[in-house]
Structure 1
Amino acid sequence: MNGKVGQREWLALLEKIAAEERLVQAVFSAPRRKDGTIARKATVRPVTLKGGLRYQFERLADNKAFHENVNADELAAKLANEMTSYKQALIQTTEADIQALANKKGELTLIARAKTSDQEGTASKAVPQTHNRDKRYVLPEGEPVLFLVALGVMTPEGKVVKAKYDKFRQINRFLEMVADAAPELPRGKPLHIVDFGCGKSYLTFALYHYLAVKMKLPVRIFGLDLKKDVIEACSKLASELGWEELTFAVGDISDFKGQASIDMVVTLHACDTATDAALLKAIGWGASVILSVPCCQHELFRQISQPVLQPLLKHGILKERFAALATDAIRANLLELAGYRTQMLEFIDLEHTPKNLLIRAVKSRGSSPASIENLRAEYERFRDFLSVSPFMEREN
Structure 2
Amino acid sequence: MNELRILLQDNLNIEFISATLSNPRQKEGTVRVKIRPMLKKDKLFFQLESFRNHQAFHQNVGPEEAIELIMEYMENMKQMQMETKQASFSVLISKKGKVTIKSRKNQCERKEIDMSHNRKKRYVLEEGVPVPFLKDLGVMTEEGKVVQSKFDKFRQINRFLEFIEDILPQLDKGRELTILDFGCGKSYLTFAMYYYLHELKKYDIRIIGLDLKTDVIRHCNELSQKYGYEKLKFLEGNIADYTGVDSVDMVVTLHACDTATDYALAKAVGWNAKVILSVPCCQHELNRQMENEVLAPIFRYGLLKERMAALVTDGLRAQYLEREGDDTQILEFIDMEHTPKNILIRAVRTGKKGENEAAIRRCEECLHVSPTLGRLLDHKEGE
Q: TM-score, normalised by structure 2?
A: 0.80
- Secondary structure in 2 matching 1:136: coil
Q: Does 1:304 align with 2:290?
A: yes
Q: Does 1:114 align with 2:73?
A: no
Question: Which one of 202, 210, 216 corresponds to residue 216 of structure 1?
Answer: 202
1:226-273 deviations in Å (ceiling 9; x for gaps):
011111111111111111011111111011111111111110000000
Question: Which runs of structure 2 are paired with 1:229-240 in the superposition (5 Å)?
Answer: 229-240=215-226
Rounded to whole Å, the distance in 2 between the matches of 1:28 and 1:314 is: 40
- Secondary structure in 1 matching 2:239: coil
Contact 1:93 1:126 in 2 (8 A): no
Displacement after TM superposition at 1:143 (Å) = 1.6
Question: Which one of 10, 27, 46 corresponds to residue 54 of structure 1?
Answer: 46
Q: CA RMSD in A?
A: 4.0
**Residues 67 and 385 (structure 1 numbering): CA distance in 2 closer, same or farther, change over 3 Å?**
farther
- Secondary structure in 2 matching 1:307: coil
Contact 1:238 1:246 in 2 (8 A): yes
- Secondary structure in 2 matching 1:256: coil
**Residues 57 and 78 (structure 1 numbering): CA distance in 2 closer, same or farther, change over 3 Å?**
same
Question: Which one of 370, 376, 379 corresponds to residue 360 of structure 2?
Answer: 379
Rounded to whole Å, the distance in 2 between the matches of 1:142 and 1:199 is: 26
**Residues 27 and 113 (structure 1 numbering): CA distance in 2 closer, same or farther, change over 3 Å?**
farther
Aligned residue type for 1:382? C
Rounded to whole Å, the distance in 1 between the matches of 2:224 and 2:58 is: 41
Contact 1:11 1:77 in 2 (8 A): no
Question: Which one of 166, 173, 187 corresponds to residue 187 of structure 1?
Answer: 173
Q: Does 1:395 align with 2:376?
A: yes
Question: Which runs of structure 2 are paired with 1:269-288 in the superposition (5 Å)?
Answer: 269-288=255-274
Question: Which runs of structure 2 are paired with 1:74-153 in the superposition (5 Å)?
Answer: 90-93=81-84, 97-98=88-89, 110-115=103-108, 120=110, 122=111, 124-125=112-113, 127=115, 135-153=121-139
- Secondary structure in 1 matching 2:253: strand
Displacement after TM superposition at 1:112 (Å) = 2.7
Aligned residue type for 2:104? I
Rounded to whole Å, the distance in 2 between the matches of 1:268 and 1:357 is: 10
Q: Does 1:348 align with 2:334?
A: yes
Question: Which one of 195, 213, 234 corresponds to residue 227 of structure 1?
Answer: 213
Displacement after TM superposition at 1:80 (Å) = 11
**Residues 70 and 205 (structure 1 numbering): CA distance in 2 closer, same or farther, change over 3 Å?**
same
Aligned residue type for 1:230? V
**Residues 250 and 346 (structure 1 numbering): CA distance in 2 closer, same or farther, change over 3 Å?**
same
Contact 2:15 2:86 in 1 (8 A): no
Q: Does 1:24 align with 2:14?
A: no
Rounded to whole Å, the distance in 2 between the matches of 1:88 and 1:95 is: 20
Rounded to whole Å, the distance in 1 between the matches of 2:365 and 2:39 is: 49
Displacement after TM superposition at 1:185 (Å) = 2.1
Rounded to whole Å, the distance in 2 between the matches of 1:68 and 1:280 is: 42
Rounded to whole Å, the distance in 1 between the matches of 2:361 and 2:202 is: 44
Aligned residue type for 1:112? K
Does 313-322 or 165-174 show the bigger shift?
313-322
Displacement after TM superposition at 1:172 (Å) = 0.8
Matched with 1:3 is: none
**Residues 200 and 67 (structure 1 numbering): CA distance in 2 closer, same or farther, change over 3 Å?**
same
- Secondary structure in 2 matching 1:350: coil
Does 375-384 or 68-77 show the bigger shift?
68-77
Does 20-29 or 136-145 show the bigger shift?
20-29
1:109-158 deviations in Å (ceiling 9; x for gaps):
64334347xxx4x4x2365887xx95221112112122211221101111
Contact 2:91 2:100 in 1 (8 A): no
Rounded to whole Å, the distance in 2 between the matches of 1:157 and 1:235 is: 25
- Secondary structure in 2 matching 1:159: coil
Matched with 1:156 is: 142
Q: Does 1:71 align with 2:52?
A: no
Unaligned 5+ residue runs, structure 2?
378-383
Aligned residue type for 1:125? I
Aligned residue type for 2:14? E
**Residues 357 and 90 (structure 1 numbering): CA distance in 2 closer, same or farther, change over 3 Å?**
closer
1:285-313 deviations in Å (ceiling 9; x for gaps):
11111111111111111111112111111
1:308-364 deviations in Å (ceiling 9; x for gaps):
111111121111111111111110111111111111111111111111111111112
Contact 2:18 2:37 in 1 (8 A): no
Contact 1:212 1:219 in 2 (8 A): yes
Rounded to whole Å, the distance in 1 between the matches of 2:32 and 2:148 is: 36
Q: TM-score, normalised by structure 1?
A: 0.78
1:43-90 deviations in Å (ceiling 9; x for gaps):
662266999722649799xxxx9999863257789999999xx99964
Displacement after TM superposition at 1:13 (Å) = 11
